């Protein structure tokens, strides 16, 4: 039986995933490629890190710490847009000793902040990004009722350029919660049926398959939005050859879209003032 890998077990597969992605990738791409490389079973991938707080999977959580350790070790760097890439040091590295990475980073953290380091290494705080997403996940899954979530999805689609967006949920319509028309550059358009699942767990392939069955012959595309995540099998089912395509939006992508559209998520920019001494000296 396959066991849940530790965060350091995932370091080498993560580096291999980035190499196969051409040296860089978004978090979702890295996750999908690492899962493919490790061949982890569905029951492992479906495990949530903290079901009470967020829909983040345990594997996703441990991959986040693997990325952090590899960044501090000098093998990864990340941009403000959430893209992670291999450094020159990583590109010339032949083999990685994950135990050495762990020793180096923990010694570095101990040196930088000896009083702030918790005695239990597993009791780490989430990064700033993960904290706001966890808070948002709690609001979406605990504060909003299903009807409220459907209205939120309707608003997101309208803000994203969809027209004639209607919520048709709770009618026993095969899991279809609404419909709309996507406009491309003001000229082309196509009909879209959507399903929105306010959920903490992972959406399985069967649910994507059922959604497709309900939409066949009624729309050009399908859109499945969830506050949770999708299993690798669900992702494959959504893009299966010969079947109507279904676009998937998981909880992380949903959070980023709400942030981009400034819908219930505010980004505060802190002004930083610095003095250009040389400018005054040249007067």
pLDDT at 127: 57
pLDDT, the chain, mean: 84
Q: Which residue has the higher pLDDT, 171 or 150?
A: 150
pLDDT of residue 129: 59
Cα 61 to chain centroid distance, Å, stands at 11
Q: 25 phi and psi, to 5 degrees?
A: 180, 155
Query: Which of 181-185, 233-237, 275-279 is predicted with the least confidence, judged by mean pLDDT?
Result: 275-279
pLDDT attached to residue 171? 56
pLDDT of res. 173:
61
Q: How confident is the model at residue 124 (pLDDT cuts 50, 70, 90)?
A: very low
Average pLDDT (210-225) is 88
Q: What is the pTM of this model?
A: 0.69
* pLDDT (0 to 100) of residue 82: 75
**pLDDT tens digits along 111-123:** 766 555 444 433 3
Mean pLDDT of 131-150: 87
């Amino acid at each position: 039986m396959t066991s849940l890998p530790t965060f350091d077990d995932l370091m080498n597969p993560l580096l291999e995933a980035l190499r196969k992605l051409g040296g860089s990738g978004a978090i979702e791409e890295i996750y999908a490629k690492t899962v493919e490389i490790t061949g982890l079973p569905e029951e492992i991938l479906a495990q949530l890190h903290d079901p009470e707080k967020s829909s983040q999977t345990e594997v996703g959580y441990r991959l986040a710490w693997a990325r952090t350790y590899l960044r501090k070790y000098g093998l990864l760097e990340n941009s403000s847009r959430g893209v992670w890439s291999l450094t020159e040091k990583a590109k010339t590295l032949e083999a990685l000793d994950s135990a050495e990475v762990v020793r180096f980073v923990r010694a570095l953290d101990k040196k930088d902040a000896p009083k702030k380091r918790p005695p239990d290494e597993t009791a780490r705080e989430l990064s700033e990004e993960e904290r706001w997403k966890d808070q948002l996940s709690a609001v979406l899954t605990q504060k909003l009722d299903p009807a409220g979530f459907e209205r939120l999805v309707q608003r997101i689609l309208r803000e994203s350029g969809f027209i004639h967006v209607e919520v048709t949920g709770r009618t026993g319509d095969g899991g279809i919660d609404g419909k709309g028309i996507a406009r491309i550059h003001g000229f082309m358009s196509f009909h879209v049926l959507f399903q929105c699942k306010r959920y903490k767990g992972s959406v399985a392939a069967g649910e994507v398959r059922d959604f497709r069955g309900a939409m066949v012959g009624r729309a050009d595309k399908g859109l499945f939005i969830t506050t949770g995540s999708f299993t690798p099998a669900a992702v494959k089912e959504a893009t299966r050859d010969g079947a109507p395509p279904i676009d998937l939006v998981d909880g992380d992508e949903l959070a980023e879209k709400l942030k981009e559209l400034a819908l219930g998520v505010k980004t505060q920019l802190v002004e930083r003032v610095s003095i250009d001494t040389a400018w005054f000296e040249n007067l």
